Amino acid sequence: MRILIIEDEARLAANIARSLRESAGYAVDVAADGEDGLFMAESNPYDVILLDLMLPRLNGLQVLKKLRAAKRHTPVMVLTARDEKESVVSLLNSGADDYLTKPFDLGELLARVKALIRRGKGQASPLLTVGDLEINTVDRTVRRSQRSIVLTAMEYRVLEYMAHRPSAVVSKTELLEHLYDYNWEKFSNVVEVYISGLRRKLNKGSVTPLIHTYRGQGYVLQQ
């Protein structure tokens, strides 16, 4: 999953980014003002955008409206220091999916981000299942037929992303875009490495393969 934080308080943005990376394994980008944030949001496929309201150049509400006007449906969570009813109502009406008032709890932020990701992908439960495969997105554990499977951080991120969109073809580029932030060089062959590792671990003691390759198009996770 890849998250964009648009927040001009560099320290706060860094803390949120660190928390998201460490406890959820998400790829996180940070934009320090509204214009940069809008540009990044429009040019990358983020899974959730965290948006501060008081921003230099372009304020949060303007960013939100422009994003929605450009038919970008990425879930947006607004971070605001104001908690008056009117401003919350106008935020939600302008296309925000959720909001948190400062100062907030990082744990709550993380839980809400996870919920937004699920709903953004059409999933309601934090427990993702594909056939006999179970992925718990809360404590990030994976089981197949009651057998626990230990994955590396990157393998889990690939699997979780694919599990959010079961039976859909996920291209290598899409995976790369959702797994890495700006600070990483993108080499498409690393995806193949993770996929083969995943296949090996998931298929241990089982006969039905779960990850299928569609040559030239990508991968599909299904029974």
Partner 1 sequence: MPTSSIRRRLILTMVLTQALLAAGLVFTGVYYTHRRLQFALDANLYARAMGVAALVRYPEETHQPLIFESSLVPGKDLAAGDLFVITAEGVGVVAHSPQWPQGLDVSPGRPYRKIKLARVPYRVLRLDKVPILDREEAVSNLPSTLTVIYATPLVELNRQVWRAGIYIALVSLIFLGITVLLALWGIRRGLSPLQDLAAEATHVSAQHWDFQPPREAELVAELRPLAGAMETMLQRLHQSFEQQRQFLGNAAHELKTPVAILKSTVQSLLQKPRTPVEYQAGLTQSLEDVERLEKLLKGMLRLARAEQWAYGTLKRNLDPVDVASTCEDAIEGLRGLAHAHDAEIKLNAEDGIICRADPEDLQLVWINLLENAVRYSPHGATVNVQVGRTDHRARVVVEDQGPGIPAEEIPLIFERFHRGDSSPTRETGGFGLGLAIAKALVEAYGGSITPESAVGQGTRMIVDLPLNLN
Measured CA to CA, the distance from residue 102 to residue 212 in angstroms comes to 44
**Residues between 18 and 77 that touch partner 1 (CB under 8 A):** 18-19, 22-23, 32, 54, 56-57
Q: Is 9 in the site for partner 1 (CB under 8 A)?
A: yes
The dihedral region occupied by 29, where left means phi > 0, alpha psi between -120 and 50, and beta the remainder, is beta
144 three-class SS: strand
Crossing angle between the packed helical segments 172-179 and 153-164, to the nearest 10 degrees: 120
Q: Which residues make beta-bridge pairs with 141? A: 136
Angle at 87 between CA 82 and CA 93, to 5 degrees: 140
| Rg of the chain over all Cα atoms, to the nearest angstrom | 18
Q: What is the DSSP letter of 151?
A: -
Q: Of 54 and 220, which CB lies nearer to partner 1 in the complex structure?
A: 54
CB of 11 to partner 1, least distance (A): 5
- Beta carbon of residue 134, minimum distance to partner 1 (angstroms, whole number): 25
Q: Does 15 bind partner 1 (CB under 8 A)?
A: yes
Which span (96-104, 138-146, 164-172, 174-182) binds partner 1, by CB under 8 A?
96-104
State which of positions 163-202 bind partner 1 (CB under 8 A): none
Which amino acid does the sequence have at 149?
Answer: I
* 199 alpha-carbon distance from chain centroid: 22
Site size toward partner 1, by CB under 8 A: 24
Burial (CB count within 10 angstroms: exposed 0-12, middle 13-18, buried 19+), residue 85? exposed
Q: Which is nearer to partner 1, 19 or 206 (CB)?
A: 19
Between 4 and 190, whose beta carbon lies closer to partner 1?
4
Q: Which is nearer to partner 1, 11 or 215 (CB)?
A: 11
| Contact mark string toward partner 1, 101..130, x via CB under 8 A | xxxxxxx-----------------------
Residue with tokens 């390759």: 213
> To the nearest whole angstrom, how small is the minimum distance from the Cβ of residue 105 to partner 1?
7
Residue 138 tokens, joined: 């809360």
Residue type, 45: P
Q: How far is the CB of 214 from partner 1 (least distance, A)?
A: 38
Residue 190 CB, nearest approach to partner 1 (Å): 25
Q: Which residues bind partner 1 (CB under 8 A)?
A: 8-12, 15-16, 18-19, 22-23, 32, 54, 56-57, 81-82, 101-107
